[in-house]
Structure 1
Amino acid sequence: MVNFASIVASLALATAVSATLSPTDPGPTTVWSPGKQYPILWIDDNVAPLVTAAWKKMTIDFMTGDNLNQVQLTTVATGVDASKVSSYTWTCPTVSPPSQIYFFRFSAGDGTNFAWTTRFTITGIDGVSTVPPPNTTQPDGQKIGWGIGAISNSVAPSGSVASSATASGSVAVASSTAASSAPASGPTPANATSGSAANAIDSASTPNTIPTVAVKPNSAGRVAIGVSSFVCAVVLAMLMV
């Protein structure tokens, strides 16, 4: 019997490409405190397709979860022209638990180019207290801490594109309608991650859980995939055998 997840994982690894957008901050040693504003930074890694070509309507999402089942807590911003700006300032929300289980996902809007920050730490409302990630091992066996966090309503996240950059068009600052609690079922979040691509499709995902195909935060500061349409065709062909 054909193992669907294994096929997709192999094909995704074989067709992975650079995201061209390389997140630089927050990183694995970054610590944020609720209510304070912090920059989210990125650069062009100069690998085709360049940021100037593919990242003119970028979306930034605030994430948690493990590497194979990432959970979107809220959308930070949409319509960011990453070809003209290289940072976005966001007010850190109050989260539970305060731990190193949060990260940002960047999507170019074309369905094929993504990038991730590493997992970073958000403290408690006192700006000091933290707890270790609830889990120490990823579902695929990697010794990488993770957990599923949630945003509370104590601090309403807000953000803006850096005023020093010149941007064309508008940037939508997403409202902070984040889940007040973690999904009732499903995997728990991750902290630091490795650079290899991972892949899985979880048919029993909860509403806020996003099954991922060869995507995960990377300890080097970025992860990228480009799964082209021919991959889907190959997968379907193999399943019909």
Structure 2
Amino acid sequence: MESLSQQNTVKEDGGRVFLKRHLGFFDSVCFLAGTIIGAGIFVSPKGVLEFSQLNVGVALCIWAACGVVCIMCCLCYAELGTSLPFAGGEYYHVKRGLGSLPAFITIWTLMLLIRPSSNAARALIFAEYISRPFYSGCPPPDLLKKILALGILWVLCIINSKSIKIATWVQNIFTLLKMMSLTLIIVYGLIELGSNPKASEPFKNAFDSEVPNAAQTAESFFQGLYAYGGWNFLNYMAGMYL
């Protein structure tokens, strides 16, 4: 029986090995949207407002600035991905521009430090959300959240190692669910603004509250960027896009 690595690779002229291109346009859009719309958008708003010293005007400006920065980064990565359609993301780009050693250090740092920490944080947040309804009036036990987070990570590892098509299908389903959740939140917020006169009071004299210092502004900015995180993931699978 053909191994999983053989199923996902193909040899072209010259004996070079490439990933088979399993993903279409819709799958890639869902992957990128589902990666961006993750745990950050549900937890970062509190951090942005808190480190902005509850200054609504400053918080809104920080959200806008984070959006502009991420759009500029997305355009740079889109140009890189279309000009160099090879899987690997930052590893391939750094290797092509600076050499093998900086590329190895980059991917080693990302895959052994940054990515596992980020995935663990997302899993813990998801575990807290799914367990909180069963503990009305008190937070869920930490041990339960850790066990659920480990189970979630194991299930995702098994799905991704079994089949790209199954992983893509799961990603598409969760992307649609997250889009529905955000749509409900937005619609409810608009209804609340239109029906409740007190809901618009925080926007009146929005800049009258205490202005955050430089350190607090930077922390608030990083909180906002976390909500936009994931825009660079499409370049990791550029070689698998059809």
Instruction: Point out the structure with the larger helix share.
Output: 2
TM tier relative to shorter chain: under 0.3
Ranked by relative contact order (alpha carbons within 8 Å, sequence separation 6 or more), the top structure is: 2
TM-score by length of 1: 0.24
Instruction: Point out the structure with the larger strand share.
Output: 1
